[in-house]
């Protein structure tokens, strides 16, 4: 089903060429339904790439999806043009009175910094506080997941001895959870990070449930007891070439980055990587929108009941 985005957003042409059902805002106005309102707080420096990856995952839903991209006002991206940000992004101050069915908070390349030293931390805290009353369901991704667990539940991240990098098998622990309808018991997910949230810290918190984890890559998906706050440490949104690009970049910088685990055939970086995760990733986000958002959000979106955390 269609995602409603401006026809001049770079992702529009890319997704159209992939036969992903995107709809221009002009065509969407002809349909008399209430679309899902989804906001994306995009903290990644690669704004356009992240936009395309997340919109691709949002394409399999029964209704129109209106997407609002939010940037930080306290930090200006060096990798996205001012023209792109002005044309397609808004700030928290401009939307803080609005309500959303769903919210994304992406990762960011700041995980080795203490949270309080991140330039936009205070602004992000305001957004996370606002999300409890103005977004029905929020998914936090990678560093965004670590930031959410720290802000909401006081669970700090811990530095790993070496970058966790590759595609790792994950095991579902709560098989009847709506996020995993149609899932296999084990599925693959890319991870790329220098820090982690310890499984022991998550399990002992009474408000949280560990839904998915891996013996190799640790905690992957955590949710609060209401199911409205979800924390995802991996990257099912990644393209086939994303880890390859990160690996080649790190090699060029002479960083001590391992070859991505379970990614290149025969561990040969000259061979095309195998995408073994996108099917489950697409299904998970479809389940999230269909079962955790669409069927539970009030029709009058402003009647969302605030979360008490």
Q: Catalytic residue among 134, 191, 235, 280, which? A: 235
For residues 196 and 150, the answer to whether their CB atoms sit within 8 Å is no
- To the query of whether residue 292 is one of the catalytic residues in this protein, the response is no
Q: Catalytic residue among 134, 142, 191, 292, which? A: 142
Q: Catalytic residue among 37, 152, 237, 280, which? A: 237
In DSSP terms, which residues pair with 230 in a beta bridge? 139, 223
- Give Cα separations from 279 to 70, 148, 208 (angstroms): 27, 26, 26
- SS (HEC) of the chain: CCEECCCCCHHHHHHHHCCCCEECHHHHCCCCCCCEEEEEECCCCCHHHHHHHHHHHCCCCCCCEEEEEEECCCCCCCCCCHHHHHHHEEEHHHHCCCCEEEEEECCCCCCCCCHHHCCCHHHHHHHHHHHHHHEEEEEEECHHHHHHHHHHHCCCCEEEEEEEEEEEEEEECCCCCHHHCCCCCEEEEEEEEEEECCHHHHHCCCCEEEEEEECCCEEEEEEECCCCEEEECCCCCCCCCHHHHHHHHHHHCCCCCCCCECCCHHHCCCCCCCCCCHHHHHHHHHHHHHHHHHCCCCCCHHHCCCCCC
- To the query of whether residue 142 is one of the catalytic residues in this protein, the response is yes
- Give Cα separations from 13 to 8, 20, 29, 245, 260 (angstroms): 8, 10, 20, 22, 30
- To the query of whether residue 129 is one of the catalytic residues in this protein, the response is no
Q: What are the catalytic residues?
A: 142, 235, 237
């Amino acid at each position: 089903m269609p995602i409603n985005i401006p026809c001049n957003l770079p992702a529009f042409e890319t997704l159209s060429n992939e036969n992903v059902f995107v709809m221009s805002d002009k065509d969407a106005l002809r349909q008399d339904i209430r679309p899902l309102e989804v906001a994306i707080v995009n903290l990644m420096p690669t704004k356009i790439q992240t936009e395309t990856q997340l919109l691709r995952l949002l394409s399999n839903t029964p209704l129109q999806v209106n997407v609002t991209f939010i940037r930080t006002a306290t930090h200006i991206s060096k990798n996205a043009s001012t023209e792109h940000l002005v044309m397609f992004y808004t700030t928290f101050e401009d939307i803080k009175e609005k309500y959303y069915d769903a919210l994304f908070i992406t990762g960011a390349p700041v995980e080795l910094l203490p949270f309080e030293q991140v330039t936009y931390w205070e602004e992000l805290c305001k957004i996370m506080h606002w999300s409890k009353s103005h977004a029905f369901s929020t998914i936090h991704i990678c560093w965004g997941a670590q930031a959410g667990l720290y802000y909401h539940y006081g669970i700090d991240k811990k530095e790993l001895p070496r970058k966790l990098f590759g595609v790792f098998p994950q095991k579902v622990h709560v098989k009847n959870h709506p996020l995993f309808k149609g899932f296999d018991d084990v599925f693959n997910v890319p991870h790329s990070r220098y820090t982690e949230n310890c499984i022991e810290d998550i399990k002992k918190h009474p408000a949280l449930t560990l839904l998915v984890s891996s013996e190799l890559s640790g905690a992957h998906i955590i949710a609060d007891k209401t199911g409205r706050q979800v924390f995802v440490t991996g990257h099912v949104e990644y393209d086939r070439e994303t880890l390859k690009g990160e690996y080649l970049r790190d090699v060029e910088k002479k960083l001590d980055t391992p070859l991505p685990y379970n990614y290149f055939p025969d561990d040969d970086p000259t061979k095309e990587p195998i995408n073994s995760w996108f099917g489950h990733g697409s299904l998970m986000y479809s389940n999230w929108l269909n079962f955790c958002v669409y069927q539970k959000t009030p029709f009058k979106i402003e009647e969302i009941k605030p979360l008490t955390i």
